[in-house]
Structure 1
Amino acid sequence: MLKPDATRLEVWGDPVAHSRSPQLHAAAYRALGLNWTYERRRVTAAAFTGELAGLSDRWRGLSLTMPLKGQAFHASAQRDRRAELTGAVNTLLLTDDVPRGFNTDVGGIVRALGDEGVHEVDRGRIVGAGATAMSALVALSELGADRVEVVARRPAAVAPLARLGTTLGLEVIGVSFDAPVHTDATVTIATLPGDAEVPPAAADALARSGGLLFDVVYGHWPTVLASAWERAGRPATSGLGMLLHQALLQVRVFVTGGTEDALEGESLVLAEMHSAVVGD
């Protein structure tokens, strides 16, 4: 049972000063009429276990960003399916008898793509093979993809994604950035950092067959890939939608105990969260 007197929340990570989570969550709780606090704290990987153990029963939950998602996974006594598949927890609910972990990044991607009119994917592409790529692969699987091309600098980095693909029942094909031909994709999910360097020729080749570009970056826009998509006359969108929707799912967790039940007045809550980070 959720503890009604647990009202403290934070986002932890290293670095964390750039996080927009406090604005998003504060807007949501104002809209819901909840007098909860949500702040940020720089927590290193080495300090995570001690910081978590030091929390009192006033704490409702935590949002986790890099490099803490793996440690939050191991700290969770129970996890949702998306967390189990990806090995990553970005949301810890602390109001039950044991910590419960959730991955709301997957749902954030699915819901954001839905906003762009993408409700079904046949063949997808992921650029990058880091931790976010795992969530992107699960999201593409949930949208029906049976084949996903993963573009990565190091072929060995694709191996964990290939294993996850086997679990999900889809084919994962690893290719290099300088591949001369890429398979046509309904959507390309770019998971690279905003300042990542991509050779212009490689970016242009990806754009020619990439469908919609969904770039998880939202602070460095346009990215190199987004510029290539623009040159090709193809649609591209930033990761702002993912940011909003993964945060909304976190709010669901903290309010209802899970991601499935909608909030009261959820459309208004989402609009307030949107305004908090981009304005009217």
Structure 2
Amino acid sequence: MRLSSQDAAAARPVRNGHQAAVLGHPIGHSKSPALHRAAYELIGFDCSYRAIDVTPEELPGFVRSLRAEPGWAGLSVTMPLKSAMVGQMDRTSELVQVLGVLNTVVVNYDGEGRVSLFGDNTDVAGIVGALRHGGVRDGAPALILGGGGTAAAAAAALAQLNASSATVCLRDPAKAVGVRQVAAHFGLPLEVRSWDETAAAAASAATVISTLPPHGADALASLLADDPVPRAGRVLLDAAYDPWPSGIAGEWHRQGGTVVHGLEMLIYQAVEQVRLFAGERFTDAAAVTNVMCDAVGAPRR
């Protein structure tokens, strides 16, 4: 078991035989190995990549083991470790400090082989890339479903897209504290509503981002079906990509809206992870994006 560190990918020394991994629990469904392996083969980065099941309770021991083992390039981090991993870092990016969660760990070694772990967050870049690919334009009002770490990343992404405002709907509005703080930090006007108001909020939103787990928005799909409205020109990004299509994605499409597959977010955030892990070997983001699309059956750009 292992882990990884540092932002300044350009300063990474050239080493042979790196290894990297995605950590989470459960993790068997992850498509990250397919994405990263395809990218590494394209750019000639000698690095293995696998999925490792790690629980929050196992995480400190995993990190200790990683620090004692040479050759790590980095880690992708998914649920339920995105918050817990932050405290294991030597340094974090400003974005992680604002969001309170990370999804990327870069491992760096000094001249004497000492390890330094740097935590970063590429989920924001993933959401921005996915929404731009789906045709989202700057200045559109948006709706976020859910209030966890991915919802916080969604708020940061919407701020980058210059959204005019955002609404967050979740079952317990008291749990929206983190999203509120992120929105305030980036100057994004934000309103928090209860789950009962979701259908009404979706009727006026030009962009909807669901950060709920699989089937988490099924009830909303039923509400949308009961009260259909024209959604042409409106974009839904559902971060949950398995099973697909989700109930809400299917209903959004039936009402004429544009649906962005959750894999799009996964692809764009993985491209940025490869940039951090591979350093100077990463020279062509478009080519990396396309081989990742091939790896998971998504259309090329």
TM-score by shorter chain over 0.5? yes
User: Which consecutive aligned stretches of 4+ in structure 1 deviate over 6 angstroms post-superposition?
Assistant: none
Residues 222-266 of structure 1: per-residue CA shift (max 9 Å, x gap): 212112212322221211111111111000000128xxxx93233
What secondary structure, in the 3-state scheme, does the structure 2 residue paired with 1:66 have?
coil
Q: Is it true that 1:9 corresponds to 2:20 in the alignment?
A: yes
Distance 1:7 1:140, change over 3 A: same
Query: Given the alignment, which residue of 100, 111, 133 partners 2:118?
Result: 100
Moved more, 53-62 or 200-209: 200-209
Moved more, 120-129 or 13-22: 120-129
What secondary structure, in the 3-state scheme, does the structure 1 residue paired with 2:264 have?
helix
TM-score normalised over the length of structure 2: 0.84
Matching residue of 2:31 = 20
Distance 1:126 1:209, change over 3 A: farther
What secondary structure, in the 3-state scheme, does the structure 2 residue paired with 1:136 have?
helix
Aligned-residue CA RMSD in angstroms?
2.2
Matching residue of 1:59 = 72
Aligned partners of 1:231 and 1:242: how far apart in 2? 22
Q: How does 1:246-257 map to 2 (within 5 A)?
A: 246-256=269-279
How many residues in Structure 1 have an aligned counterpart in Structure 2?
276
Query: Given the alignment, which residue of 202, 220, 223 partners 2:246?
Result: 223
Matching residue of 2:158 = 140
Residues 128-177 of structure 1: per-residue CA shift (max 9 Å, x gap): 11221111111001111242111111121223212222222122211223
Q: Which runs of 5+ in 1 are unaligned?
A: none
Aligned partners of 1:61 and 1:200: how far apart in 2? 38
Query: Given the alignment, which residue of 189, 192, 203 partners 1:171?
Result: 189
- Once the two structures are TM-superposed, the CA of residue 124 in structure 1 deviates from its matched residue by 1.1
Aligned partners of 2:163 and 2:130: how far apart in 1? 17
Matching residue of 1:195 = 215
Matching residue of 2:57 = 46
What secondary structure, in the 3-state scheme, does the structure 2 residue paired with 1:63 have?
strand
Aligned partners of 1:181 and 1:276: how far apart in 2? 38
- Once the two structures are TM-superposed, the CA of residue 207 in structure 1 deviates from its matched residue by 6.9
Q: Which runs of 5+ in 2 are unaligned?
A: 1-10, 111-115
- Once the two structures are TM-superposed, the CA of residue 114 in structure 1 deviates from its matched residue by 1.3
What secondary structure, in the 3-state scheme, does the structure 1 residue paired with 2:219 have?
coil
Identical pairs, percent = 32
